[in-house]
Amino acid sequence: MLDTIQKLDILSEDSQYDLACSCGSPGDNRRTRIGEGRWLYPVPLARGGRGIMLKTLLSNICSSDCRYCPLRHDGNSVRRCTLSPDETARVFMDLLSRRWLLGIFLSSGIVGSPDHTMQLLTDTAAILRRKYRYKGYIHLKIIPGASDAAVRRALQLSTAVSLNIETPGEEHFARLSDYKDYKRDIIGPLRLMAAETRKGARHAGVKCTTQFIVGASDETDREIVRCMDGIYNRLNFERVYFSAYQTGLGKPGLPGERDFSLEPGDRLTREHRLYQVDFLMRSYRFGASEMVYDKNGNLDLSRDPKEAWAVSHPEFFPVRINRDDREALLRVPALGPVSVERILRARRNFRIRALEDIGIRGRPARKAFPYLDFS
């Protein structure tokens, strides 16, 4: 019989299949194992730097049949186990007493029914809030198919909630699961989350996020970006994440494996390009309709999407570095918000004659130079 630490070891390991941004490669961007079954994940902070979060599943038992997921109900190589809400809360508070943590991220396979699973998750959060008086960060995963009451209960106890949208549309979704219904189990709860957290609503302070599983079905990048635009502008979610399907984990013959001849590295590059598009839309004021795709509706894997836009819009350039506004400068390849702010500050005091004048050197300077006018 497994003890709590052995179960945590298995479940926190299995939580990797719900890991956003697997393309992150620097050493300090990776999760860290600290022994006794605990896996900690770095999380970027708005004020800069990183916080550390404990992330785990409450159970890897699952009633669902998601064809991309090794934890699906007919997965044969999984050692199944479940943590009780008391066990999970106690382990987290024990760890918190010995080191600073940003918070806890709780997800789970579907144990019996969506609402039973939500009860396990919200009971854990309630124990942390009430028994241990924990006032920090709790992120709860909303289980597909959860009732309105279960979603509202999660919002009462959480700092943030998320529900994976998985694919851009019902047609692609149907190729991955017979157990779940896209409109009922995914879109319905997503809309409720948006309504309950909108400005002025009861849970307005709770952050909502979602995630695409990229490359398991046969969606195009254009379809993902169009759907992402709706998530931001109609649902007003905080963030959209992407997770490249990890080849070989699901059932053979997935549409994404059959229809896209991508190597594992290319799959991560595709994920990375979607994150770059997301950043362009959130921080650079690009519209979803401005993205450039190939004839199949996919982003160019060989160049970043801002450079692809610049190459296809020569009439916009060169941008006058000493006169044009912030929005124009942000369209220049290799110039980000920090570099542009540096340019705006510097040109108040002197005329910029080269990017090196303001400390931009090397590859960024070479990439931006052809698109700038220094006169």
Specify the pLDDT at position 17: 63
What number of CA atoms fall less than 13 Å from residue 87's CA on the CB side? Answer: 18
What is the amino acid identity at position 121? Answer: L
For tokens 């609503």, the residue is: 201
Specify the pLDDT at position 187: 98
Cross-strand bridge partners of residue 319: 372
Q: Return the H-helix or E-strand segment holding 373.
A: strand 372-373
What is the reported pTM? 0.88
Start-end ranges of CATH 3.20.20.70 in the chain? 4-260
What is the sign of the dihedral through the CA atoms of 141, 146, 151 and 154? negative
**CA end-to-end span of the chain, whole Å?**
75
Start-end ranges of CATH 1.10.150 in the chain? 313-373
- pLDDT digit string (tens) for the chain, length 375 residues: 778 878 877 777 767 666 444 444 344 444 444 444 444 555 544 444 556 788 889 998 999 989 888 888 886 777 889 999 999 999 999 988 887 788 999 999 999 999 999 999 999 999 999 999 999 999 999 999 999 999 999 999 999 999 999 999 999 999 999 999 999 999 999 999 999 999 999 999 999 999 999 999 999 999 999 999 999 999 999 999 999 887 777 788 888 877 666 776 788 899 999 999 999 999 999 999 999 999 999 999 999 999 999 999 999 999 999 999 999 999 999 999 999 999 999 999 999 999 999 999 999 999 999 999 998
CATH numeric code, 4-260 = 3.20.20.70
Tokens at 118, concatenated = 């939500």
Specify the pLDDT at position 316: 97
For tokens 């990229």, the residue is: 214
298-334: b (≥16 Cβ within 10 Å) or e: bbebeebbbbbbbeeeeeebebebeebeeeebbbbbb
Please give the Cα distance from 249 to 256 (Å, whole number): 13
Specify the pLDDT at position 71: 84
Please tell me whether the peptide bond between 114 and the residue prior to it is cis, using omega within 30 degrees of 0: no
For tokens 């836009």, the residue is: 309
Tokens at 318, concatenated = 């060169």
Tokens at 177, concatenated = 């699961």
Specify the pLDDT at position 77: 75
Specify the pLDDT at position 46: 42
Specify the pLDDT at position 143: 97
Fold observed for domain 313-373: DNA polymerase; domain 1 (1.10.150)
